[in-house]
């Protein structure tokens, strides 16, 4: 009996310690002067089917963008926000487009294809099987330098953004050509955290308003609702990481938009869904990796040159990031 009491006490203490250790502080951190880098990849495919000026057509797009995203903490104000400077390096683009269609009399038109490979070392563009630009073989040199300047504009600019402890970001500022694109991402730099301690199995929700869909600025922002769940602890590379699942859905609504050319459109049948899993290190307050799949379907109706035009769009995008 004398030996049972100490054993029981040890088991009880171990259970209490385990319970206390079960929670994770899901708050973003990045101290002044601290830096972190991520390998980032975006792969997307889309297909758009419609009619324009009496002709039926199908536009297919296959795009892959890669980059290194560097974040550096700046001097913090008295509030709880985290000011960050962001740079993009090693930016690469590989994009393929094809258009097939039929004329008003029903005869098929020849397929039109383009392919672009672009980074700071190489510029290449192929149109319908003919090389139009190739920096390696001195083809189209008058356009090579302009495209290289575009890449420099992406890589030589420091962007500024402020995050709260949950990772919600302010509007991004800077002169990079990517700013406008990054402003309209559906989640910001990272998925939203709880901003507080959570236990496995607990969830939290967030709502985001999207001002733009594709090339169209929306008259009224679309609403995206997300639910995140701290699923479990995982061990990786000697670290204890919180595994977080995320699911998001666009609120069903008919939207109106306008592009840079002043074309007004109605956007209906919007179905946007995303799901993914990310790993977060509570000890240093930073994400270590993540994978997010997004699917989008919608219908665009407008008028061009006095004739009605319609387009059904379907697309898939895979986002991945890994801390270096």
Read off the DSSP letter of residue 135: G
Rounded CA gap, 206 and 193, in Å? 9
- Asked if residue 7 has pLDDT above 60, the reply is no
pLDDT digits (tens, 9 = 90+) for 85-117: 999 999 999 999 999 988 777 777 889 999 999
The H or E element that residue 199 is part of is none
pTM of structure: 0.85
Enumerate the β-bridge partners of residue 320: 41, 291
Rounded CA gap, 124 and 95, in Å? 11
* Residues written for the chain: 324
Helices (H), the chain: 4-21, 141-155, 179-183
Q: Which of 4-13, 88-97, 147-156, 310-319 has the lowest mean pLDDT?
A: 4-13
| Dihedral sign, Cα of residue 128, residue 137, residue 142, residue 41 | positive
3-class state of residue 48 by DSSP? strand
pLDDT digits (tens, 9 = 90+) for 249-270: 999 999 999 988 888 999 999 9
Strand runs (DSSP E) across the chain, as ranges? 24-25, 35-52, 55-73, 82-102, 112-118, 123-127, 130-134, 159-163, 197-198, 203-213, 216-236, 239-250, 255-258, 264-281, 286-304, 307-323
Pairing outcome for strands 286-304 and 24-25: unpaired
| Dihedral sign, Cα of residue 253, residue 290, residue 118, residue 182 | positive
Task: Name the nearest CA neighbour of 217 among 255, 271, 175.
Answer: 255
């Amino acid at each position: 009996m004398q030996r049972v009491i100490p054993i029981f006490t040890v088991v009880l203490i171990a259970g209490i310690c385990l319970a206390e250790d079960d929670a994770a502080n899901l708050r973003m951190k990045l101290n002044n002067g601290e830096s972190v880098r991520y390998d980032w990849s975006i792969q997307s495919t889309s297909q758009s089917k419609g009619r324009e000026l009496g002709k039926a057509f199908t536009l297919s797009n296959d795009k892959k963008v890669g980059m290194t995203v560097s974040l550096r903490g700046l001097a913090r104000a008295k509030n709880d926000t985290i000011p960050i400077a962001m740079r993009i390096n090693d930016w690469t683009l590989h994009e393929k487009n094809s258009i097939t269609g039929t004329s008003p009399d029903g005869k098929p038109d020849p397929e039109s294809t383009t392919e672009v490979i672009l980074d700071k070392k190489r510029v290449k563009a192929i149109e319908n099987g003919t090389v139009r630009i190739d920096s390696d073989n001195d083809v189209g040199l008058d356009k090579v330098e302009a495209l290289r300047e575009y890449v420099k504009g992406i890589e030589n600019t420091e962007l500024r953004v402020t995050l709260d402890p949950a990772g919600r970001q302010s509007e991004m500022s800077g002169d990079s050509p990517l700013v406008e694109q990054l402003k309209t991402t559906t989640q910001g730099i990272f998925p939203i955290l709880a901003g507080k301690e959570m236990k496995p199995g607990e969830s939290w929700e967030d709502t985001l308003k999207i001002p733009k869909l594709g090339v169209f600025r929306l008259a009224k922002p679309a609403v995206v609702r997300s639910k995140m769940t701290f699923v479990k602890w995982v061990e990786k590379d000697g670290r204890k990481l919180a595994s977080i699942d995320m699911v998001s859905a666009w609120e069903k609504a008919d939207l109106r938009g306008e592009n840079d050319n002043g074309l007004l459109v109605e956007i209906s049948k919007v179905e946007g869904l995303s799901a993914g899993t990310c790993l977060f290190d509570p000890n240093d307050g930073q994400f270590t990796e993540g994978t997010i799949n997004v699917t989008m379907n919608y219908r665009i109706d407008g008028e061009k040159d006095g004739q009605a035009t319609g387009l059904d769009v379907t697309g898939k995008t895979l986002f991945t990031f890994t801390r270096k």
